[in-house]
Structure 1
């Protein structure tokens, strides 16, 4: 980002200055004292576990030039006192976006696929545009302004991921981002504890469309059941993607393997290859190509760029373990993403047994028991040879799976990761493909730590 002056910070945040004298030129903005650099403005964000005010001196020792604070601190730096450091960070991000009118800004939200689509869209636009995009899953009131603060005068495109688990969050983030283009990947049951119902999820995601400015282009999933209602709310042009014949950007001839997902674009016959696995990756790639089309990026260059993008961490990543293969999809889970992961395993053509290790899907509110039972039914349709359900809703998952015909002897319920580890240690076989999927707070990726299978007799590797 361009250098900020302290007077700029005061004007943008409406804060009051005190502390050390001087007019430092600020090289950037940081919220983490461990990564704060020389000349940066350190914003002392209070949080549930840590309070940035307690790390202000460490930031100063690392070279920070000024602080944004909610209370005066005995730190020898210029300080800007504000009612809310979080609101001040948002104001700084919005100011940076408004100072860069030359950039096409794309906002991406949806229940599933946000981060994968964001990465693919950033690659497609970056093929011939100077592009800034959200790091990892920086999609909340902290991560979004940090993304915007990376925008500079030479930035031509910005891809921002927007997340929500409560009503009004997408609206607030959209006001900050002021996107020219809004992309909604899909609408499924997720974060129902805060959003209440599928209708509540749909209304929350649709707030991205009502917040569009400039070109006001909406990019929507033609195959999603909410397409019609979302398209009706779009303030301008609608560009659709999907497998449906009525999609503007349509894929056909989908082929899934353990290495990649391939499909053919219906309008020009061009083959697209992505390293992201599963049929749902087709929708993410189509959405990214729709973004490139709106931005005027050459399609051949965009398609070539997509082929280089690795899957995000914890999203259907292959990991070889001692004697078996893990398909790590443990970053998060809701009913839609769990069903998509199970379907992906069924399509990959892996020769080993299918072993599903699934944990609780959190934040589903009063629908939790019902949705976990439905998840079990969805899992059973991919015919696992072993299902290990972990957590408070494990019995619901197994009940749903058995209900539509999965053998009860192929199902195990465990209350915690330790129990699942023990069950897998006695049940796994060499060559198995193990899908691991759960909500982030379950930390289910740890269930396979230090687990390996012995070499079969007579096949031990010979040391050179």
Structure 2
């Protein structure tokens, strides 16, 4: 049975009428009535619920238009499709059929339309490293006082962000959203959709240089978050990052800036930093804080979170407790005991900056056995990829790492550079595949050894743990 909106009826926050869908997307209503009511939005026919709108998204492996009959059979009340596609409806006609120029754009437009229904603060987070950890920390601290929506995991592209925003409900008091990019213009578009009033930039580093060219290009892209902030336009920046310290010329005059850092004068600073065997401690003003990690770079993530939390009047003692209880996201310098060895999984992703941070933590980590560095190629570094890997090899030669296992052609270049700088050639293993690396590690690893896994996501280093 088709449900229609009754004039004056108060709808649940996530409901849409066909008329609202057309208003949001600029689409054309092919079948149906403007007052027909839909109870949710789905892009996956497997998880679609009766009464939902099904948006036909075309991806790299699947085209949602191919699943229209399945979506209708499962109870989809509305199908949003591309007017440039020929579609097969099957034996059953949906209650509503809406044609749009771009279905991915329609999803974003609906998310933006839904976002405007809520007069709540939205915090947007971007940067070359630490986005997910910072997002999780901010959410953890704010949740001690507010009902918070966040994007799960690393759902930080236009699809993930849009689906997250469509989960906004009346009980939410704020949203914390990670914004990711690897092409120019993506941050501007994500900021348009989310309309954040507070923007956090964790750092600027050599990431996705294949598309951004150099760190200046990275800064230009990330800075769009500041440019696109909604009122009251508050930006929170890493004061120790040289590019963020300089800031681009022509700053928006109506943006309020706060900074955080360790080494340079900032609004929020960490002092008296101590690195222990399993945790790191520091003071912010007079408050003692600690994190269950030995990776010093996470202090910056914590300072960003502290700044946001204090901005929204979270009690300092709730912040301290939040840091103590914080569980770091998967594959971010996570330590596991396996057959008497310590495995450090830092394989979620890698670029030169995050590699150096991981190597610093590994170097300072107390260990009773050998330290084995398993490194895989860092991707999307453009024409400086070989240089960056050579620099990583040189950096490795200056640490207390005992064994290097390099996987992939670029990492083999890092091995060559380490050897040239004096690293014992008998302790360097060059591998062309994960399977070869697994065989070598199984043969050389001993009880009490500590093994660090670091490489780009595309290299799938986590498969070594299987």
Q: Aligned partners of 1:44 and 1:357: how far apart in 2? A: 41
Q: Which residue of 1 aligns with 2:47?
A: 35
* Residues 1:217 and 1:359: Cα distance change in structure 2 (over 3 Å): same
Distance in structure 2 (CA, Å) of the matches to 1:214 and 1:409: 60
2:123 is paired with a residue whose SS is strand
Q: Distance in 2 between matches of 1:230 and 1:427?
A: 48
Partner of 2:326: 309
- 2:62 match: secondary structure: coil
- Over 3 Å counting, the alpha-carbon distance change for 1:301 and 1:26 in structure 2 is farther
- Superposition deviation, residue 186 in structure 1: 0.4
State the shift of 1:46 in Å.
0.2
In the other structure, the counterpart of 1:54 is 66
Structure 2 CA distance, aligned partners of 1:27 and 1:314?
36
Structure 2 counterpart of 1:281:
298
Contact 1:276/1:310 (8 A) holds in 2: no
The worse-fitting range, judged by mean Cα deviation, of 81-90 and 289-298 is 289-298
CA drift of 1:171 comes to 1.3
* 217-226 vs 143-152, greater mean Cα deviation: 143-152
Give the corresponding residue for 1:240. 259
User: SS of 1:252's equivalent?
Assistant: strand
Following superposition, the deviation at residue 115 of structure 1 comes to: 0.4
Q: SS state of the match for residue 57, structure 2?
A: coil
Distance 1:403-1:24 versus aligned 2 partners, 3 A rule: farther
Counterpart for residue 74 of structure 1: 89
Sort the Cα spacing of 1:67 and 1:303 in 2 relative to 1 into closer, same or farther, 3 A. farther
- SS of the residue corresponding to residue 325 of structure 2 reads coil
Q: Give the one of 437, 455, 462 matched to 1:420.
A: 437
RMSD after superposition: 1.9
Is 1:378 matched up with 2:378? no
- For the pair 1:90 / 2:108, whether they are aligned, the reply is yes
- Using the alignment, how far apart are the partners of 1:386 and 1:443 within structure 2? 20
Q: Deviations over 1:208-241 (max 9, x none)?
A: 1111120111101111111223276354211111
Contact 2:147 2:174 in 1 (8 A): yes
**Which segment drifts farther, 107-116 or 122-131?**
122-131
Q: 1:5 aligns with which of 9, 13, 17?
A: 17
Alignment of 1:149-188 (within 5 A): 149-188=166-205
Gapped regions of structure 2 (runs ≥ 5):
1-12
TM-score by length of 1: 0.91
Instruction: Give the corresponding residue for 2:372.
Output: 355
Go from structure 1 to structure 2 and tell me whether the alpha carbon gap of 1:63 and 1:168 turns closer, same or farther (over 3 Å shift): same
The aligned counterpart of 1:251 is 270
Tell me whether 1:129 sits opposite 2:146 in the alignment.
yes
- Contact kept, 8 Å, 1:138 with 1:144, in 2: the verdict is yes
Question: In structure 2, what is the Cα distance between the partners aligned to 1:379 and 1:9?
Answer: 55
**Range with greater deviation from structure 2 (184-193 or 370-379):** 370-379
Q: 1:405 aligns with which of 422, 431, 438?
A: 422
Which of 76-85 and 293-302 deviates more? 293-302
For 2:280 and 2:63, the matched residues in 1 are separated by 44
- Find the counterpart in structure 2 of residue 389 from structure 1: 406
Preserved contact between residue 68 and residue 89 of structure 2 (Cα < 8 Å):
no
| Farther-moved stretch of structure 1 (358-367 vs 393-402) | 393-402
Equivalence for 1:120:
137
Worse overlay, 251-260 or 307-316 = 251-260
Match of 2:7 in 1: none
Name the counterpart of 2:230.
213
- The Cα shift of 1:339 comes to 1.0
CA distance in 2, matches of 1:40, 1:30: 6
* 1:457 counterpart residue number: none
Paired residues of 2:50 and 2:77 also in contact (CA < 8 A): yes
**Aligned equivalent of 1:325:** 342
Alignment of 1:339 onto 2:351:
no
Shift in Å at residue 258 of structure 1?
5.2
Matched, 1:437 2:454: yes
Distance in 1 between residues matched to 2:331 and 2:252, nearest whole Å = 33
User: What is the DSSP-based 3-state SS (H/G/I as helix, E as strand, rest coil) of the residue aligned with 2:242?
Assistant: coil
Distance 2:79 2:320 in 1: 44
The separation in 2 between residues aligned to 1:219 and 1:189, in whole angstroms, is 20
Alpha-carbon contact 1:325-1:434 (below 8 Å) kept: yes
Change in CA separation of 1:196 and 1:245 when aligned onto 2, cut-off 3 Å: closer
8 Å CA contact 2:19–2:34 kept in 1: the answer is no
Give the C-alpha shift of residue 347 in structure 1: 2.7
What SS does the aligned partner of 2:409 have?
coil
CA contact (8 A) 1:258 1:350 kept: no
Q: CA deviation at 1:276?
A: 4.6
TM-score, reference length from structure 2: 0.91
| Aligned-partner SS, 2:247 | helix
Runs of 5+ in structure 1 lacking a partner? 450-464
Superposed displacement of residue 4, structure 1: 1.6
1:250-306 per-position Cα deviation (integer Å, ceiling 9, x unaligned): 1122233454332211x2x21222335410111101101111122222222233223
